[in-house]
Amino acid sequence: MEITLGHVNRMTSEAFIESLGWIFEHSPWVAKRAWTARPFSTLEQLHRAMVRVVEEAALSEQLELLRAHPDLAGRLQMTDASVKEQQGVGLDRLTAAEYEQFTAWNRAYTERFGFPFIMAVRGQTKDTIAAAMRQRVGNEPERELETALHEVSKIARFRLNDLIHQ
């Protein structure tokens, strides 16, 4: 379903949350708080308002948002958006050996940082994703929190672009 920015600006709080609450994975609180920033002149302004909500959130809320994301190449229940994003780069077609490697990297990453590896996978390949996993597991925790939140922001932008016509 595609909607217009004008439609978004006229939505009630409930309709806004229902329509945009999934943009940030399992975190409708982002849309709920961003609704008060209406009206939005551009899609960029809407995206920026939602990102600002995340940036201004308590660390515990930011971590909750990150932990709401599925493991890349994981087989646990994912949102429709995550399924499509991961299928688009072939993470649903890994060999058994590749799946084992991604699972090991996911486990090591989550143990180190306390949240799953997050990457906006659109335009990536399984090889570039694997390289990023290997590199980022060595980051300092503060830097990786910042990187993961930036990746969440990119995912949200892709999702908004797919949903809303300007």
Q: Which residues are catalytic?
A: 69
Give the sign of the dihedral formed by CA 145, CA 148, CA 154, CA 157.
negative
Judge whether 131 and 98 are in contact, CB under 8 Å. Answer: no
Quick check: bond before 39 cis, omega within 30?
A: yes
Q: Tally helices (H) and strands (E) across the chain.
A: 9, 2
Alpha-helical (H) ranges within 11-140 are 13-20, 28-34, 43-56, 59-67, 80-87, 96-113, 126-136
Q: Please, are residues 8 and 16 in contact by the beta-carbon 8 Å criterion?
A: yes
Structure-block tokens of residue 46: 């809407």
